[in-house]
Amino acid sequence: MNIDIQSIKQRFGIIGNNPLINHALEVAASVASTELTVLIFGESGTGKEIFSKIIHQLSPRKHGKFIAINCGAIPEGTIDSELFGHEKGSFTGAHEARQGYFEVTDGGTIFLDEIGELPLGTQARLLRVLELGEYIRVGSSKPLKTNVRVVAATNINLLDAINLGKFRKDLYYRLSTVPIEVPPLRERGEDIYLLFRKFTSDFSEKYRSEPVTLDNEAKEVLLNFRFPGNIRQLKNICEQVSVLEKGKIIQADSLKKYLPEPQTSTLPALYTMGNPGGNEYTERELLYKFLFEMKRDMFELKKIVYEMSKGEKVNLQNLEDKDEIFGSDDPKEMPLHDVEKKKDTIEIDTPIAEQMPQSLSLQENEKELILKALAKNKNRRNKAARELGISERTLYRKLIEYDIES
């Protein structure tokens, strides 16, 4: 099959020559003539819906109906009725029977955007449509047939949703017969500037003004911006610049006024332990974890001292690393090799309140843990970060925050 990507771009108004977007278009054009189910991946604002329209318009179903549905915008209580229809009296307010989208679009294509927002019950109904080509109206027991092609899209990781029990595994594999990944704008290089020129040109016609242009420095600023809102965000920025800027040659400082600052926060950052599907802990949770481990180690130390005070033999195997945990002259924190010298000064039945760190400030205890980890690992940040269970970048940020030299 000979696919003319440029003609597809012209027909559907797609701007750019990035290899990633070209590959996505090739896959969409190749699969359009089949009846395969397609799942489109991509961040919000990347233009996933246009790919569903390409698939429909290049398919034998192009003369049938095309309906795009945002699954996240329909309330959970009515989405089954919207998709599959309902019978009269099936629920309060159902004064007459109603056709659902799968009935209305028979012979056409239905685009389910944000498929990950579907309730689990609706997912089971959708799976039946994909497997058997039939559905049941709400309030009915009679199965109805439909011949609809489903194209779905999501901006979340559905495998993560499966692990969390929020998405059916069988539906995922049934939907993703052919996956298409739409790249985020920040990965499309010079396409960003091409889109900027196209949007500003369109807005100059709309508002009957001269198109704006960027100087070289402003262009670099534009290309280096990450655009979390992707094409939708770029288009909004272009409209603002076209309307509000009096000078038509935009400099870097002027452009930066329309680019939002990167979102920064002093709140504890999420750090993923292991693979992306693993457990996530905040720095605060990790700190509590370390505090409880310190408390446990102190109990172990008290047990050793108690046994030594009774003249019993103490098994020090696997306790080599304990020396690094206790590093002050406080008897409760002293190294194991000094326990014998100080054992008479240690109170065996120390109240629990005294077993906790003297300061309850999270910042002070966090700083102390970092200092101990650095001392134990001879100021090697990568090993200290691994010891603390945080990323090296987070550790570096904490060193600056607490003014720690290493």
What domains sit in the chain, N to C, each tagged with a CATH number? 5-183 (3.40.50.300), 186-256 (1.10.8.60), 280-401 (no CATH)
What CA–CA distance (Å, rounded) separates 52 from 66? 9
Confidence of residue 298 (pLDDT cuts 50, 70, 90): confident
Confidence of residue 184 (pLDDT cuts 50, 70, 90): very high
Contact 42, 48 (CB under 8 A): yes
The DSSP call for residue 63 is T
Residues 6+ apart with CB under 8 A from 320: none
Examine the pLDDT at 285 and tell me if it is beyond 70. Answer: no
Examine the pLDDT at 330 and tell me if it is beyond 50. Answer: no
pLDDT for the residue 278: 42
- For 225-269, the pLDDT digits (tens) are 999 999 999 999 999 999 998 777 999 999 999 998 765 444 444
Cα 274 off chain centre by:
16
What CA–CA distance (Å, rounded) separates 175 from 196? 34
What CA–CA distance (Å, rounded) separates 161 from 148? 26
- At 49, which amino acid appears? E
pLDDT for the residue 279: 46
Examine the pLDDT at 283 and tell me if it is beyond 70. Answer: no
Contact 31, 51 (CB under 8 A): no
What CA–CA distance (Å, rounded) separates 300 from 292? 13
pLDDT for the residue 304: 73
